[in-house]
Structure formats: structure tokens, C-alpha cells
Amino acid sequence: MIDNISSSKVFSGWHKQYSHQSSVLNSAMRFAIYLPPQASESQKVPVLYWLSGLTCSDENFMQKAGAFKAAAELGIAIVAPDTSPRGEEVADDDAYDLGQGAGFYVNAIQAPWQQHYQMYDYISAELPELIEANFPVLSDKSIAGHSMGGHGALVIGLRNPEQYKSISAFSPICNPMNCPWGVKAFTAYLGSDKSLWQQYDASALITQHNVKQPIMIEQGLADQFLAEQLNIEQFADAAKKANYPVEINQHEGYDHSYYFIASFIEKHLAFHSKALLNQ
């Protein structure tokens, strides 16, 4: 059962927010969906799943990215989940980069996180099943994200090539095993066994898969987190060694903000439409 929180018409489609009780996360969860005007009982549309970054919710992308006009023209639905379970009963941390708002799209196995922080299963299984059961959408889907969400999109997309037709990311955390954000989160959620960390590291995963989905990455060269946290060079090197073609576009002057995302989101929607709509 899903409960509608809000509905707003935009570019002849609808942006809607919903809450539901997640059996995977053992808590209430919220997501937003944009349904383009083509979506109807007689016509189902493909879906792009968007994963947001640290401190974000379902609202950041929907309110700031400026994606609705292109999505309406292309006939693609967009689903934006929250970045973690939330609530008084859900474990949290005082820091912004751990706990609520910082789920890192992994299945936690360490206390006190394991009861609720099963974001990998939520994004890759429970949420798509819920969306496809309740909205006029196809099972055809792609995945994208920003920063921590870019990490999530790369990991979930690479680990599930049969599910996602294309992958894209803005300023992704490409090698979390070797950056402060990733080491902190993985130690807390997964423990000290780094073989478990590799399951959630795009730079490790890209060397292990023969199925080569289209991947596109945008990176701003004025990004304040580029040097210490994102490790895009490691991902590019791993992809090259694996003979995996990845389009990495670097841009002078752009930072880590949604101004950067808004500047190139239409390009990414067009990229996904080629895979989703066979254009």
C-alpha cells in the first residue's frame, strides 16, 4: 500500500510524492515520481531511477535538477527515492556522512545499522516492484545518481546488468574503498572485511563484468570533493584495463552542486532514452 503525499502538474505530466511501509528497511519510506504526459492506462513508459547524495532526500533532484521538460518530451518516468530510512526508531549518527541521509546504497550487516539500512535491496528489488505494480510503467529501466548516489547508481547498475539498460552519474564516489567517506561508511555498515567492501566499489566491480552497459559520467573540475573523495581516475583506469568503454566528460569551472546537474541533465536523459526507447 502506498499513500499519496502531494501531486503537482508540471509540463503536462505529474510530480507526486508517496510514502509506504518498506518490508526491506523495516520502516516507513518516501519516494517521488514524475509521470510524463505519455503515461496512461493504455501506454506504459520506461523509468529512470535517480539516486541522490549525502544529506539529500527525494526532493533535491525533483526540485533543483530541471529534468521535467526533457522527461516529458522523451516520455520517461523518473523515480527518486530517499537516501536512507528515517524515523526515531532508525539508527543515526551526529555526522552528516553516516546514518540517516547517508545510506550509501549498501546492505548493512553491522549493529546497529543492519535492522534498517538495507538500501541496496530496497533500490534494486523492493522499490522497482512497487513502482511497476502501482504506476503505468514498463520494466525497462535505467539508473543515475549524484555523488553518493552516483556511487549507488554505478554499483547497482553494474551488479544488475539484466535490470538496467544504461547507467549515468554526476560527480560519483568511484572508489569508496579508498576515500574518507567510503571508508567511514563501509567500516560502520559492513565491518572490517574489505572483500565485502569490494561488492560496493564501482572501480572493483567494473573489472568483473562481461556485460557492457552504456555508462556516462559528468565531472566538474572545480568540484571541492574531486581530489579527496571521488577518485574518478581510479575508475577510469579500471575501466580501461577491463576494456569497458565509459564516457567520462570533464568540465572546467563546475562544482559539486545542483547547478552542475541542471547544466547537463537533459544530456543524460537523452543518453538514457537511447537505451530505454531504442532510439
Question: Using a CB cutoff of 8 Å and minimum separation of 24, what contacts does 88-92 make?
Answer: 89/27, 89/116, 90/27, 90/116, 91/115, 91/116, 91/117
Q: Does the annotation count 223 as an active-site position?
A: yes
Q: Does the annotation count 146 as an active-site position?
A: no
Q: Does the annotation count 193 as an active-site position?
A: no
- Tell me which amino acid residue 153 is: A
Specify whether the backbone of 66 is left (phi greater than 0), alpha (psi in -120 to 50) or beta.
left
Helix (H, G, I), strand (E, B) or coil at 228: helix
Which of 166, 223, 272, 273 is an active site residue? 223
Can you tell me the distance from the alpha carbon of 197 to that of 272, in angstroms, rounded to the nearest whole number? 28
Which of 15, 151, 256, 272 is an active site residue? 256
101 phi/psi in degrees, rounded to 5: 85, 0
Which of 22, 57, 147, 203 is an active site residue? 147
Residues with catalytic function: 147, 223, 256
